[in-house]
Structure 1
Amino acid sequence: MTTLLAKAAPGLVRAAPINPSGHTMSRARLLRYLEIKVHHLIQDRDWESIRVIGGYDRTAVVSRYEKGGKLFNIERPTAEIHGRDLVVKAFPGADYVQHYALIIATYLAMTGRPADMVTYQPPRQDECRSALDVLDLQLDGDLVIVGWGLQYLARGNGVWNRGPGYAWQRSELAGRRVVYLGFLHSIWGDVAGRVVERLAELGAGDVVYVGKVGSLSPGIAPNTWLATGNTSLLGGALVSWDDFFGDFAAAQGGVQSGLHVSSPSILLENRDWLAQHMVSYAFVDPEIGPMGVAARQAGIRFGYLHVISNNLATRYPADLSNERHSDVIQRRAILVERIRTIITGRLAAAPDTISGGAR
């Protein structure tokens, strides 16, 4: 079966596990981060081969470690059994497929199991684009707020309308039409850029992304600050965009502003990577750069206002391995309310330039 799978999948790339001793997370916390993400079929059984591909398939075996207790970003990649071989299906995106393959390979290596049979097949561009064709909203210059914490930003006053893999809610904020848009699956990396591209096609006037970033600056405690900016290092080049927030968000209390780095995988952010970037850059995440570029190409505004969720330069009790801790949840709830206040203030500050999608 392994030979048949390999013949049917040219362009396979081996996913080499990272060296945990060089990572910015401690070994124990890195392993915990991996354990909450790896499909149960991989944790429970050994396989002759594991191949990660792009494919959104909820009819395949769903991981029992999928997230619970929230509305969005709850789905993990699914798995399909072929005898002694396993095909893992991640939502189509080059960054996400690579990231999840690295997660699997590193988990296996850290638990003393062979990892050299883990490969991934980068999805074609047309596969990545068509995966978001199902996103179908009637937009007419609306502000679209996409990402994390949406049920709290929307304050639960409206009804969530369901689409395949996503949900949205319409509202009004400071006199502006607003659509809150959340996805059940991850919109990791380049997938997020295609979300912005698709929203522009559907008529969005502005897009705001609310999420989480890692700090590259020592001394910035997780879950106590917000981050914003209008420039990211993407593929070795600096890219900027027309920022929805302008200078407004950066002037507010509790908000850090700086240069951002777009990284395709947390697994690649080791101490050597940190040393190369921490002098010039403030934040890291996978999505901001691709989203900003997509917005610039589409001629719409884009802005991000994120919780600083972890710190790569200083080890704190809170990091990406324990995000479900009650103290973390409480701190982030306060920050989400602050995000809503800043977005509302931005809309109220300049209705002539950002109302109704007028450019």
Structure 2
Amino acid sequence: MAPDRLLRYLQIKVHHLIQDHDWDSIHVVGGYDREAVISTHEKTGKLFNFERPTAEVHGRDLIVKAFPGADYVHHYALIIATYLSMTGKPADTVTYELPDPMLSREAVAKLGLELDGDLVIVGWGLAHLAPADGAWTYGHGYAWQRAQIHGRRVVYLGFLHSIWGDVAGRVVTRLAELGARDVVYVGKVGALNPDIEPNTRLATGNTSLVGGSLVAWPDFFGDFATAQPGVHTGIHVTSPSILLENRDWLTEHAEHAFVDPEIGPMGVAARDAGIDFGYLHVISNNLARHYPADLSNERHSDVVRRRTVLIRQIQDIVANRLAARPI
């Protein structure tokens, strides 16, 4: 990403107290605390994934609380440090403390749904995927609604906060504990193939490079999604932060297809829990070639229009998959 676009991406993410004030220290920890200072840069007009890390002021020191996942805490600390460096401020004021795994498990365990072999569709674009006349029921940081598609019970599940990286894997584990039979994740991935223009194609697959090892999982879609027009498949790479995806990283992973933080942990969790998992994502940006659309201008009207078309295609593919094989 070009420096000006990277800075714009960071400005969207960084808490306003960091952009507006100087601090002796900034310490990022795991915690879901909506009683702390909420960033004025949180997105508006969205049902889900609009909450951002909150902050507590302690004199000249700032404590930033990100939803407790190791990947998210690390990623958000990188966001702050990179922003400070790019704006001429000392980045060495930023430290972070990875959350205890028990804290992460307890945070995700607040998810409570009555499931009995349901298909759970989780992630992004749910306002378009779920029935327009359906009602959302809210829980602790999440909301859900039920539907039936070709006789199959389906639950649409969205989170108000980010389920970045390893948190997403814990969500799948929790859904399996609650009785889900299948989980489909809808979201956005970056392409590693320079020929794929953002917001024109979908991505799917059943294999990810996680921590240097290839892992595969039972795919909810089987061969169905890859047979549809405009759906690209290949080996996915799990990366905990886009800020780690530099030129050397890209060279190392040039033969792979996509990258994001969640798909690998979710697939591993589904495999370990004995349930099926599938992902069907909009290819939102391209790491290997510059295109006008990237992660810094996602609210542009043309980007929104193109993604709406792709979300409708996702909706059709899921419905047709269930029509072909409801169970």
- TM-score bucket of the superposed structures, by smaller chain: over 0.9
TM-score normalized by the length of structure 2 = 0.99
Give unmatched runs, 5+ long, in structure 2.
none
Match of residue 102, structure 1, among 71, 74, 78: 78
In the alignment, does 2:306 pair up with 1:331? yes
What is the distance in 2 between the residues matched to 1:197 and 1:171?
Answer: 22
Give unmatched runs, 5+ long, in structure 1.
1-24, 355-359
In the alignment, does 2:324 pair up with 1:349? yes
1:145-224 aligned at under 5 Å gives the runs 145-224=121-200
1:7 match: none
1:39-94 per-residue CA deviation (whole Å, 9 max, x = no partner) reads 00000000000000000000000000001111000000000001100000000000
Match of residue 278, structure 2, among 262, 282, 303: 303
1:2-55 per-residue CA deviation (whole Å, 9 max, x = no partner) reads xxxxxxxxxxxxxxxxxxxxxxx0000000000000000000000000000000
What is the distance in 1 between the residues matched to 2:133 and 2:249?
Answer: 43
1:46 match: 22
Contact 2:144–2:156 (Cα < 8 Å) also in 1: yes
What is the distance in 1 between the residues matched to 2:298 and 2:199?
Answer: 10
| Aligned residue identity for 2:167 | V
The Cα of 1:271 is off from its aligned counterpart by 1.0
What is the distance in 2 between the residues matched to 1:120 and 1:173?
Answer: 44
| Aligned residue identity for 2:177 | E
Contact 2:131–2:147 (Cα < 8 Å) also in 1: no
Partner of 1:305: helix, strand, or coil?
strand
What is the distance in 2 between the residues matched to 1:217 and 1:155?
Answer: 34
1:241-283 per-residue CA deviation (whole Å, 9 max, x = no partner) reads 000000000010000010000000010011110010012x100
Task: Point out 4+ residue stretches in structure 1 off by more than 2 angstroms.
Answer: none
In the alignment, does 2:66 pair up with 1:59? no
Identity of aligned residues (%): 74
The Cα of 1:155 is off from its aligned counterpart by 3.4
1:98-135 per-residue CA deviation (whole Å, 9 max, x = no partner) reads 00000000000000001101000011110110001110
Aligned positions, number? 327
Contact 2:201–2:282 (Cα < 8 Å) also in 1: yes
| Aligned residue identity for 1:246 | G
What is the distance in 2 between the residues matched to 1:33 and 1:310?
Answer: 13
| Aligned residue identity for 2:162 | S
What is the distance in 1 between the residues matched to 2:296 and 2:254?
Answer: 22
Match of residue 216, structure 2, among 236, 240, 243: 240
2:56 match: 80
